[in-house]
Amino acid sequence: MSSLHEEFMSIPGSTDVLTFPLETDTRGRVVSGEVVVCVPEARRQARARKIPTRIELLLYALHGMLHLLGYDDRTDRAYRIMHRTEDELMIELGLGAVFARPVRRSAGGGSR
């Protein structure tokens, strides 16, 4: 993964997921692509998040597919949107959110 990261992104070191659009349609939308995930990184992150590695790997796959659909995570706003979308998909799949923190309620019922 480190060599791919450096070769295609010019960034030294490993990363969690890389996405490669392969074909686009006449409107410029990606119709095929590759998503490369780093299993050792998924294991490390899963341990840190205290979630199963398979969930972390699925998250990486979803992240890559969202990139193929045109999502970006380079700005703070885009990053938040992308991670919120990942959480929504994980919830849809019945696996629960990875990034969102539960909202805590005060004794008066308002959220903080």
pLDDT at residue 100, rounded to an integer:
77
Digits of tens for pLDDT over the chain (112 positions)?
999 999 999 999 999 999 999 999 999 999 999 999 999 999 999 999 899 999 999 999 999 999 999 999 999 999 999 999 999 999 999 999 988 755 444 444 333 3
Residues 6+ away with beta carbon under 8 Å from 35: 17, 18, 19, 20, 60, 61, 64, 65, 67, 68
90, 62 Cβ separation under 8 angstroms? yes
pLDDT for the residue numbered 99: 83
Does the CA dihedral 11-16-18-19 come out positive or negative?
A: negative
Q: Structure tokens of 80?
A: 């938040």
Of 51, 55, 52, 15, give the one whose Cα is nearest residue 35.
15
pLDDT given for residue 105 in this prediction: 40
pTM of the model: 0.84
- pLDDT at residue 101 in the model: 55
- Bridge partners of 30, per DSSP, are 24
